[in-house]
A and B are shown apart, each in its own frame.
Chain A
């Protein structure tokens, strides 16, 4: 891209899910100490917000980096259907062997969305609550190349 300016499209999505922070590599006591309330045995839930940032050239015919309908349906299929109203620990294969912290969720969502081929995924930001948010922009060689 030779343009002096870089434009990104930001879109926010919402889903609700439950999780429990528990590591099988730690003892009961350590789990309790490390994760506190988040280790309560039956889990708890959050209203998550996923902020997706995509970059690319603005198509002069549409004024868009990517058509929102395409992005929305991609995110719906690859993220929302997978996680909304689910238990991240029990229903999402990605978290069978990983603690479903929002750090790990950020990385998982990035991996799922980087194959969107109509724009370049720049970063994922996930708000677990209004006070906690996490961002992941991939490792240096990660990300798709539209």
Chain B
């Protein structure tokens, strides 16, 4: 099996706020991330596909195809958007790195027809990221 990874970057704003909690609890749990008008990040997304290279093309998946999937599923949905208000798949969820990575997995997984989605890694900043794997997959550590 070979792993292939493509990286894209997008910029978006968000705010952590749970309407079921009091204003005080929201501030205590989410700190600065609860500031009323939100804030933004430059996100870096690394998408890893697993598979065997096609004997004719030598490719696990045509990178052009992956690029188009990432453009339509991720960039058009999330780039220069407010994740709380403009991304239907995140409605009702706090747009943390963990939740965004999981939503991106759910968006990409059915679109990858050559090879198989192996990992979604989303960096919110260079020091904070979330990984999403298929439970029990190799590389997901012990489960």
Which of A11, A62, A122, A137 gathers the greatest number of chain B CB atoms within 10 Å?
Answer: A62
Q: Which chain B residue has the least Cβ–Cβ distance from A61? A: B18
CA distance A42 to B122 in the complex (A): 41
**Interface locus among B2-10, B54-62, B66-74, B93-101:** B93-101
Bound Cα distance A11, B93 (Å): 21
Q: Which residues of A contact B131 (CB under 8 A)?
A: 7-8, 10, 53
B16 at the interface (CB under 8 A from A): yes
List residues of A (1-45) whose CB comes within 8 Å of B's CBs.
Answer: 1, 3-13
Cβ–Cβ contact B127 & A11, under 8 A:
yes
Could you tell me the distance between the alpha carbons of A138 and B127 in the complex, rounded to whole angstroms?
Answer: 22
Please report the C-alpha to C-alpha distance between residue A1 and residue B141 in the assembled complex, in whole angstroms.
14
Query: Which chain A positions have C-beta within 8 A of B97?
Result: 9
How far, in Å, is A143 (CB) from chain B's closest CB?
A: 7
A69, B28: Cα distance in complex, Å: 10
Task: Tally A residues with Cβ within 8 Å of B.
Answer: 30
> B126 and A12: CB pair below 8 A?
yes
Judge whether B99 and A58 touch: CB under 8 Å: yes
- B132 & A137 in contact (Cβ 8 Å cutoff): no
A55 at the interface (CB under 8 A from B): yes
Residue from B29, B101, B128, B134 in contact with A67 in the complex, judged by beta carbons closer than 8 Å: B29
Beta-carbon contact of B141 and A4 below 8 Å: no
Distance between Cα atoms of A140 and B98 in the complex (Å): 26
How far, in angstroms, from A11 to B126 measured CA to CA in the complex? 9
Q: How far is the CB of B82 from chain A (nearest CB, A)?
A: 16
The answer to whether A122 and B102 have CB atoms under 8 Å apart is no
Contact-size category for B: 20 to 34
Determine whether A92 belongs to the interface, using a CB cutoff of 8 Å to chain B.
no
Interface string of B110-138 (1 = CB under 8 A from A): 00000000000100001111111111110
Specify the chain B residue showing the minimal Cβ separation from A66.
B98
Write the B10-24 contact mask toward A (1 if CB under 8 angstroms, else 0): 000000101011000
Question: In the complex, which of the residues A4, A12, A69, A143 contacts B142, with contact meaning CB atoms closer than 8 Å?
Answer: A143
The answer to whether A58 and B98 touch across the interface, beta carbons within 8 angstroms, is yes
Q: How far in angstroms is the closest Cβ of chain B from A14?
A: 8
**Contact between chains at A10 and B129 (CB < 8 Å):** yes
Which B residues touch A130, using CB under 8 A? Answer: none
- B135-A138 in contact (CB<8A): no
Contact A9-B98, Cβ < 8 Å, known A123-B141, A143-B142: yes
Known: A62-B30, A64-B94. 20 other contacts (CB 8 A): A1-B135, A4-B135, A5-B135, A6-B132, A7-B130, A9-B97, A9-B98, A9-B129, A10-B129, A10-B131, A12-B126, A12-B127, A58-B99, A60-B93, A61-B21, A63-B93, A63-B94, A63-B99, A64-B98, A137-B142
